[in-house]
């Protein structure tokens, strides 16, 4: 049963382009209520991306790139939202490292991650490996679930449809800001 479970865990495929984006409401790190439907009323698109945590150099690099070129995306009418399983305290560390000024949501209970099919449970070997790098997922996420997202990026258009997907289980691969900007119509 364990083997089947671990295969299922890695079977996350993300949502496909053309699918309806699952709606969500959450509070971001600044206490602002983020409601996908409401944001799409006042913006042309939402760039929704998932990241693992402030301990992940690839996440920090991607967030910094998004921040450095944020005007490129907001200029096209996009609202950027980051989603992470991390605690608010660790989101603040991400902001310190990257100067991110866009909304970042702590996805408690992984509602958003599950809706977008990016959640997976880290196996014991990976958990130990991360601990070896002084990354304590339990402390970082404030629970004992060991759940992380595949670092996916979605663009959601005004009608609530997903128009762009970057989904790669290789956490080192992220879309460039110019790729995202070009995908914004």
Residue pLDDT, tens place only, 90-118: 999 999 999 999 999 999 999 999 999 99
Please tell me the pTM assigned to this model: 0.93
Q: What is the mean pLDDT of residues 137-152?
A: 94
**Encoding tokens for residue 156?**
């959601």
Residue pLDDT, tens place only, 48-71: 999 999 999 999 999 999 999 999
What's the chain's average pLDDT? 93
């Amino acid at each position: 049963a364990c083997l089947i479970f671990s295969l299922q865990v890695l079977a996350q495929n993300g949502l496909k382009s053309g699918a309806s984006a699952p709606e969500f409401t959450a509070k971001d790190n600044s206490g602002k209520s983020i409601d996908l439907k409401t944001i799409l009323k006042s913006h042309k698109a939402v760039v929704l991306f998932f990241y693992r945590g402030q301990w992940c150099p690839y996440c920090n690099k991607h967030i910094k790139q998004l921040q450095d070129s944020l005007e490129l995306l907001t200029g096209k009418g996009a609202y950027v939202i980051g989603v992470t399983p991390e605690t608010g305290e660790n989101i603040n560390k991400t902001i310190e490292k990257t100067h991110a000024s866009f909304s970042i949501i702590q996805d408690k209970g992984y509602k958003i991650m599950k809706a977008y099919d990016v959640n997976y449970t880290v196996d014991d070997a990976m958990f130990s490996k991360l601990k070896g790098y002084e990354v304590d997922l339990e402390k970082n996420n404030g629970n004992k679930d060991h759940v992380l997202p595949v670092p996916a990026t979605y663009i959601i258009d005004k009608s609530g449809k997903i128009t762009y997907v970057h989904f790669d289980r290789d956490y080192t691969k992220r879309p460039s800001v110019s790729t995202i900007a070009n995908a914004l119509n």
